Chains A and B, each alone.
Chain A
Amino acid sequence: MILHTVNKSPFERNALVSCLGHAQAGSSVLMIEDGVYGAIAGSQVADVVNNSLATVKIYVLEPDLAARGIAKEKLISGVQLIDYAGFVDLAADNTTVQAWL
C-alpha cells in the first residue's frame, strides 16, 4: 500500500483533496509541514477528511502541528499523531511513498 504525504495547506492548494480522491482503501495519508492544517475539525475540508477516514488511515506529524500552535483537541477525531520516528515506520511499513507536491 501507498503512504501518501501532503505538505500544503488545503486552503491554498488542492493537494489534500486530490490525494484523498485518489487514495485507495487501506492506504495511509500523512500530513506534514503546512499540510497539518488539513486536520483541523470544522474546516471547509473537514467533511472530505472525515469521509476518507472510513477507508484510509490519516496521520499528522506532531512536531509540525506543535510548531503551528494547533492544539490536539482541535483535530478531527480519528486522525493519529506521530513523530519523525513514526514517519520512518510508516514509510517502511507501506510499499511505496508518494508525495503530493
Chain B
Amino acid sequence: MKFSIQINEGPYQHQASDTAYLFTKAALEKGHEIFRVFFYHDGVNNGTRLTVPPQDDRNVIKRWSELSKQYNLDLVLCIAAAQRRGLLDENEAKRQGKDAHNIAEGFRISGLGQLIEAGIKADRLMVFGD
C-alpha cells in the first residue's frame, strides 16, 4: 500500500515528527511504499541542516536524512512555509539575495501542489501535527 505523510510541526518542540518517523519506518519495514513526506507549517524546520542536538538525544533531522537515503524517500518542504521561516535551498537563497542556505541532505523545497498530489497518488494520507 502507498502512504503519504504530512508533518505540521518542527522537531523537538512537538512529538509529531517523531511519531511520523516511527510510523514511516514501521510502514517501510512492512513492505509498504511511502509516496512522499511533506513538511508544512513549522514542520519545515525538520529540514534544516544547522541543528546541533545534544549527543545523548536522537537527531531528528539526521534520522530523516538517513531514512531518505536508505529508502529513497521524497522529503519535501513547502516553499511558502519555508520562506516564512527562513529555510532556503541554494537556488532560493540566490534568488532572494540571502547569504546562506540551510537545507539538510535528502530534503527538497517545492510547492503546495506536492501535498495535493501526495493526497491524490497515495492510498492513505497520514497527518501528524499539534
Contact = CB atoms under 8 A, between A and B. Distances in A.
A71 interface: no
B125 A87 contact: no
A92 B31 CA distance: 12
Contacts of A63: 22
Interface string B3-41: 100001000000110010011011101101000000000
Given A97-B125, A97-B126, A88 B30 contact: yes
Given A33-B15, A92-B1, A92-B32, A101 B23 contact: no
Q: For the side of the interface on A, what is the size category?
A: 10 to 19
Interface of B: 1, 3, 8, 15-16, 19, 22-23, 25-27, 29-30, 32, 123-130
17 contacts: A7-B15, A7-B16, A8-B130, A33-B16, A84-B23, A85-B26, A85-B29, A85-B30, A88-B26, A88-B30, A91-B126, A92-B1, A97-B125, A99-B126, A99-B127, A99-B128, A101-B8
